[in-house]
Chain A
Amino acid sequence: MQVKTTRFGVVDIADDKVITFPQGLLGFPDHRRYCLLEPGDEACFFWLQSLDEPALAFVVTDPARFFKDYEVPIRAEQAESLNIDKIEDAQVFVIVNKVGEMLTANLQGPLLINTLNLSGQQLVLADKRWSTRHTLMQVGIEEKQAATA
Chain B
Amino acid sequence: MLVLSRQRDETIMIGDAVEITIVDIRGDKVRLGINAPPQVAVHRKEVYDAIKAENRKAAETQGTEFNALNSAIRPGRKAGLSPAGRINGAATPTTDNGQAASERAPRTPLNGNNARRRAST
In the complex, how many angstroms separate the beta carbon of B75 from the nearest chain A beta carbon?
5
* Smallest Cβ-Cβ distance to B110: which chain A residue: A72
**Residues in A whose Cβ lies below 8 Å from that of B86:** 36-38
Interface size classification for chain A: 35 or more
**Residues in B whose Cβ lies below 8 Å from that of A67:** 112
* Smallest Cβ-Cβ distance to A109: which chain B residue: B51
Binding stretch for chain A, among B2-10, B12-20, B25-33, B35-43: B35-43
Interface size classification for chain B: 35 or more
**Residues in B whose Cβ lies below 8 Å from that of A38:** 81-82, 86-87, 89-90
In the complex, how many angstroms separate the beta carbon of A108 from the nearest chain B beta carbon?
6
CA distance A36 to B84 in the complex (A): 6
In the complex, how many angstroms separate the beta carbon of A142 from the nearest chain B beta carbon?
5
Partner of B81, one of A8, A99, A146: A8
In the complex, how many angstroms separate the beta carbon of B48 from the nearest chain A beta carbon?
6
A132 touches B54 (CB 8 A): yes
CA distance A6 to B59 in the complex (A): 12
Partner of A40, one of B72, B84, B112: B72
Residues of A within 8 A of B (CB): 3, 7-14, 17, 19, 25-28, 35-47, 56-59, 62-65, 67, 70-77, 79, 81, 86-88, 90-92, 95-99, 103, 106, 108-109, 112-113, 115, 118, 122, 124, 126, 132-133, 137, 139-140, 142-143, 146, 149
27 contacting pairs across A/B (C-beta < 8 A): A7-B62, A7-B75, A8-B81, A17-B87, A27-B56, A36-B91, A37-B84, A38-B81, A38-B90, A39-B70, A40-B73, A62-B117, A71-B104, A71-B110, A72-B109, A74-B109, A75-B38, A87-B108, A92-B112, A92-B114, A92-B115, A99-B57, A108-B47, A113-B91, A124-B41, A132-B50, A146-B119
